[in-house]
Structure 1
Amino acid sequence: MQELVFIESEDLNCEPFTTDEVIAEFSGNSRDSVTRLIRNYQDDLKEFGKLGFEIRPMPSGQKAKVFHLNQQQATLLITYLDNTEPVRLFKKELVKQFFAMEFELNARRLERSNGKIKRIKLTDAIKQAGFSVHFYKHFTDLVYKKALGFNAKQLREARGAKPKATPLDFLTTKEQAAVNQIEELTTGLILLGRSYDDIKLILNVGVVIYQTTLKIPEKAH
């Protein structure tokens, strides 16, 4: 079945949602009837979080309001629909897709948590080795570049993140794992007393191993 559940960005802290358009299309109801239900029961829906929306341009030149509903809101709303066969099939698929999306986000959060531990070890090693404060950024960009092919600024641009956002919050599980591996290797090399230039040269030898397994974001090219 077509994708029913979405996230607004690659930010691992974002909340999955579906829309009134999706609910109308796959439950066999008109969009007017679904949006009417949303307006009639908006107080109920708001008990489960802010009722989000986006303003989307239409081919006619007019603009339409598209509601975003989180899992609890969507689950509640579809209980107000008649329990026809299309509605039952839609309900089952919607639950599956919300679960799959949450599973992926939780896997990313776990990998990110592991990454924070490795990041602390890296910064401690940089400090212990006596590098100047400027090398924190140098080593950060080196790790990102060797793991993913982009430095921190390019990663933010590729994922639509704010200028001061942490790029690691926008990585897939596979990408985060690659960063973790490179950080761990870099930490070990620093603790062995290798210079920045030596570490950069050593990482250049193994960079292809990581990059060829990753989906590189096109916007950064």
Structure 2
Amino acid sequence: MNDLVFMHGLNEEPYTTDKIIAKCSDNQLKVVKNLIRNHKKDFEDFGVLHFENAKPLKGSKGGRPVKTYHLNEQQATLLITYLDNTPQVNQFKKSLVREFYRMKKELTTRQINRAIEKPQRQTLMDAVKSWSNANQWSYRNMTQLLLKRATGLTANQIKRQRHIDNSLDGLTVKEQERYTQLENIAIGLVGLNKTWDEVKGVLLLA
């Protein structure tokens, strides 16, 4: 199973949703939502019960927003204990545990990588400041190019799609590694006083 657990940024814990739990445990969504509402205080013992409101689907009755609950690992585990212990639920429990473990491991790695990259980012900033070919947009353009090459997305697209304020906090481990590699190349090229077109040309081929 893929896409069971989600993560936004470096300071938010991984979560799953009531929709995922309903689908993968073969339960009706309204049953799962009722369990959450009826045991709301129990879920809040394990953290804030987050949710998001989405617009109702076209053609659906009523115009009320659809509430989707975001459940952390403990909240999700608690919810599953309220479901019937069917073979499908048991299999889903194991898959969910594995996915939460994987995402927590990725989050830790991303946090470490981000901390390691910050001094390198400062090096790039300093290099651009003393770069004779720089203008007022050089650092921003450099960052945009690095992000685009590492992720295929612009900074704004990363923020919007991954629900974060800082685009660099939304990179996956693989994207972080790619970004760091490209950033090192950029630092070297700026240090050699290459023109922006030369820097851009090399990064586009890297």
Q: Please confirm whether the aligned pair reaches a TM-score higher than 0.5, indicating the same fold.
A: yes
Q: 35, 38, 43: which one pairs with 1:37? A: 35
Q: 1:79 aligned to 78, 81, 84, which one?
A: 81
Corresponding residue for residue 6 of structure 1: 6
- Residue aligned with 1:55, SS: strand
- The residue identity in structure 2 corresponding to 1:35 is K
Matching of residue 173 in structure 1 with residue 173 in structure 2: yes
Residues 157-207 of structure 1 deviation map (CA, whole Å, 9 limit, x = unaligned):
454179x94321222333333332233233334445x2xxx2424423422
5+ residue gaps, structure 2, are none
Equivalent residue, structure 2, for 1:119? 121
Q: Which runs of 5+ in 1 are unaligned?
A: 211-221
Instruction: State the one-letter code of the partner of 2:22.
Output: A
Distance 2:139 2:108 in 1: 28
1:174-193 matched pairs, under 5 angstroms = 174-192=174-192
CA deviation vs aligned residue, 1:89-118 (integer Å, no higher than 9, x gap): 111011112222233333333322222120
Amino acid at match of 1:54: E
Distance (whole Å) between structure 2 residues aligned to residue 37 and residue 183 of structure 1? 48
Tell me the amino acid that sits aligned with residue 169 of structure 1.
D
Q: 1:21 to 1:184 in 2, by over 3 A?
A: closer
Supply the distance in 2 between the matched residues of 1:68 and 1:141 (Cα, whole angstroms): 35
Q: Structure 1's 75 and 114: CA in aligned 2 closer, same or farther, altered over 3 A? A: same
Cα-Cα RMSD: 3.3
Is residue 18–residue 69 contact of structure 2 (8 Å, CA) maintained in 1?
yes
Paired position in structure 1 for 2:107: 105
Q: Is the 8 A contact 2:131 2:190 kept in 1?
A: no
Partners of 1:66 and 1:181 in 2: CA distance: 38
Instruction: State how 1:89-168 maps to structure 2 within 5 Å.
Output: 89-127=91-129, 129=130, 135=136, 137-145=137-145, 148-149=148-149, 154-160=154-160, 165-168=165-168
Equivalent pair of 1:4/1:94 in contact (CA under 8 Å)? yes
**Residue 68 of structure 1: SS of its match in structure 2?**
strand
TM-score, normalised to structure 1's length? Answer: 0.72
Letter in 2 for 1:167: S
Q: Sequence identity, in percent? A: 38
State how many pairs are aligned.
Answer: 199
- Per-residue displacement from partner, 1:56-105 (whole Å, max 9, x unpaired)? 41442334332221111101221233323222111101111222223333
Mapped partners of 2:4, 2:169: distance in 1: 23
Decide whether the 8 Å contact of 2:147 with 2:154 is kept in 1: no
Q: Distance in 2 between matches of 1:30 and 1:165?
A: 34
Q: If the length of structure 2 is used for normalisation, what is the TM-score?
A: 0.76
Cα gap change, 1:207 to 1:51, in 2 (>3 Å)? same
1:204 aligns with 2:206: no
